[in-house]
Structure 1
Amino acid sequence: MKNRSLAGNCGIAVFVIALVTVALAFGTPNWLVSDPRMRGAKMERLGLWSHCFRSLPDPLDQYQRRFFVGCRWVYDPFTTGYDRIRGYLLPGFMIATQFFYTLCLIGVLVSAACVLMFFLCCGPDQNRYVQLIKGIGYTMLASGISACIAVIVFACFGNTDGWMPDHANNYLGWSFGLGVVGAIACIVTGALFLTEANIQAKKRKRLKESQARFELEEESRA
């Protein structure tokens, strides 16, 4: 603990928040939800990878003879006709949201291994200590930017007219909220780790300067 500054310790704490919120947002199906007070709503809730419908008519069937009910993985290969409406369920903005939030999750998971090394194994006496901290900082900043792109895209297009039915009675759910918190936490974590890297680099520089002065003093005495 003495080897880390306040920025490093805070960075670890905020990273835990980022890891939990990003993972929950990625896996939970409440990015867009229907108002529970509304009767006859066709959609119940949807996430990045699953959808729950109460009675969604097949948008490709003009006679509305087929309805989708219940919760399914968006790439479900077993429900008849579900693969045919995948283009409806995954318009371009949803694919972009999935892509950028997946990049965020990958970055956070990679950073998790590095944070464990920073917390448990590495110390200032090791050669690549500062590089490790910088790597965590830049990776988390990139993850935060990817997450920000994902949540902004979904906020702009996720509840527009022409996609999910009854859009006037739908609203962004708690999974989306966690996604926003995760994006902010990633950026804050990156900033804290880059601050820690700067502090550790200055400490190392001062140590080298003090060692050099000590060696010069020893030589002058000799």
Structure 2
Amino acid sequence: MNKFTENKQKKRSLAGNVGIFFVLAAFILVAVSFATPSWLVSDYRITGAKLNRLGLWTHCFRSLPDPNDLHHRRFFVGCRWIYDPFTTGYDEIRGFLVPSFMVATQFFFTICFITTLIGAIITLVYFLCCGPDMKQYLMLIRINSWLLLAGGICGAIAVIVFASCANRKRWMPGHDNNFFGWSFALACIGVAITLVASTLFFVDGHIQKKKKQRFKESQMQFELER
């Protein structure tokens, strides 16, 4: 066995090195979109708009009439957390604020956020603490690949569900003047990058597996020559 083969075995592949940056970028984009309230926004030029913007966990209204109050004596103004326990009547309209499609969006995008967070941690371990010559290196890559794939698929389901249902009639008022905001755009980009990162780690795993096989073959050949 020569030193060239040994040094090659200890090097990460290009797919693995590029995958590191994709995972970190995906996590940042997914985390920002997860926490910010601009998934659906109202046209700021419309002075009488009732909606300002909304996210997965926060809603901001200019003047939303209580849908349960037929006489329109109660209005909701400003930004509030979905589960705000302090605003009178806010818990009563939670079914209106969080219909079934929003629950599905929250659920799947939360899984996407958690998996990209774990994926980012695994990627840092992969980059800082592990090398191709370690025993569990290939297993770490495989776990990260499948984890990111699961997160990307869940994120894709979330953004597709939200895009299909969020701006429909009979939900948020002024749907003709509402559009998808920058938080939603970041979510879409983050999901796409997560899937790319997963693909890169699958490629890296395949490359590392072949390297290990070649390394074993070279060791066997070296022993036979001796």
Per the normalisation by structure 2, the TM-score is 0.95
1:41 paired to 2:30: no
**2-side partners of 1:157 and 1:130: how far apart?**
41
1:72 and 2:80 aligned: yes
Q: Does 1:193 align with 2:201?
A: yes
- Percentage identity across paired residues of the two chains: 57
Larger mean CA deviation between 106-115 and 73-82 belongs to 106-115
Shift of 1:112: 1.5
* 1:61 is the counterpart of 2:69: yes
Counterpart pick for 2:105 among 85, 97, 103: 97
Could you tell me how far apart the structure 1 residues matched to 2:54 and 2:32 are?
14
Amino acid at match of 1:39: T
1:3 to 11, 32, 35: 11
1:159 aligned to 2:161? no
Task: Please state whether the residue corresponding to 2:201 is helix, strand or coil.
Answer: helix
Letter in 2 for 1:157: C
Deviation of 1:125 after TM superposition, in Å, equals 1.5
Partner of 1:178: 186
Partner Cα separation in structure 1 for residue 161 and residue 127 of structure 2: 35
Q: Is 1:208 aligned with 2:216?
A: yes
For 1:3 and 1:162, the matched residues in 2 are separated by 57
| Aligned residue runs from structure 1 range 105-116, under 5 A | 105-116=113-124
Deviations 1:130-166 (A, max 9, x none): 1101111110011000000000000000000000000
Map of 1:131 onto structure 2: 139
Give the Å deviation of 1:87. Answer: 0.2
**Deviation of residue 118 (structure 1)?**
0.4
* Paired letter, 1:91: P
SS in 2 for 1:48: coil
| TM-score (norm. length: structure 1) | 0.97
Tell me, what secondary structure is at the counterpart of 2:61?
Answer: strand
Task: Give unpaired runs (5+ residues) of structure 1.
Answer: none
1:181 and 1:138 mapped to 2: Cα distance? Answer: 19
Q: Distance in 2 between matches of 1:175 and 1:5?
A: 33
Q: Deviations 1:159-202 (Å, cap 9, x if unpaired)? A: 00000000000000000000000110110000001100110110
Which of the numbers 36, 39, 55 marks the counterpart of 1:31?
39
One-letter code of the match for 2:29? T
- How many pairs does the alignment contain? 218
Q: Which structure 2 segments of 5+ residues have no match?
A: 1-7
Q: Cα distance, 1:217 vs. partner?
A: 1.3
2:131 aligned counterpart, secondary structure: coil
Moved over 4 A (4+): none
Q: What is the root-mean-square deviation in Å for CA atoms of aligned residues?
A: 1.0
Q: Does 1:217 align with 2:225?
A: yes
1:51 aligned to which of 51, 59, 75: 59
Match of 1:13 in 2: 21
